[in-house]
A = this chain, B = another copy of it.
Amino acid sequence: MRLLIIEDEPGIAGFLKEGLEEEYFAVDTASDGKSGLDLAMTNEYDLLIIDWMLPGLSGIEVCRQVRKSGNQVPVILLTARDTLEDVVFGLDNGANDYIKKPFEFEELLARIRVQLRNRNDGDDSLKAGELMLNPVTHQAFCGNSEIVLTPKEFSLLEYLMRNKAKVCTRSRIIEHVWDIHFDSDTSVIDVYITFLRKKLDAAGCCGLIQTIRGVGYIIREQDNQ
């Protein structure tokens, strides 16, 4: 999952980046409104974390511009201001959530999870057939037996699961899971798909990841009932 942090205080930005990367997010950062907006407009993120007070373009303005372009990416606003008008103003200008500094990292994480799960079922865990992923504990299960995955394997599977029933193109996968923004003729994806399939098959979740030739991969619930 790929996040963008727009925050001018290097301390906070660094702290967030580090913490979120430990949680296996792919994190980009920007230190002012303009460059942040640029990044947000030219790349595809799964979530934006934007500080209200930014040099140049304000966080609200960034948020508004992003929305104006039709982009529905979830936005969490980070702020020291907490008067009623501020909260309402922020939410009405496109933010999905609002968190007041100083905040605890755990709470931010929980709120990020909420925003990311909205696309899916409404339960934190991701399910497809027998397979179940728990993004909080970074565990995968097939039925009751745990499947041990490496971090990259988990990230890839998580991305596929969060986009269950949608095609994940190779370029999106390489962007969201590997955070690579340029063309490259690597075959890491193939290799990791092989890894995953091997482990899933061994655990009993067969045929879950399907290839769409020339496009990418997709996870589809088996339609046998």
Contact = CB atoms under 8 A, between A and B. Distances in A.
Interface in A44-85: 67-68, 70-72, 84
Nearest to A120: B72
Given A95-B114, A107-B88, A70 B137 contact: no
A94 B118 contact: no
Contact of A94 (B88, B109, B122, B214): B122
Interface string A104-116: 1011011101100
B67 A91 contact: no
A215 interface: yes
A210 to B, nearest CB: 10
Contact of A104 (B84, B104, B136): B84
A91 B118 contact: no
Interface in A161-210: 165-167
Contacts of A218: 137-138
A224 interface: no
Interface of A: 67-68, 70-72, 84, 87-88, 91-92, 94-97, 104, 106-107, 109-111, 113-114, 118, 120-124, 136-138, 150-151, 165-167, 212-215, 218, 220
6 contacts: A72-B120, A84-B106, A88-B107, A91-B114, A92-B124, A151-B213
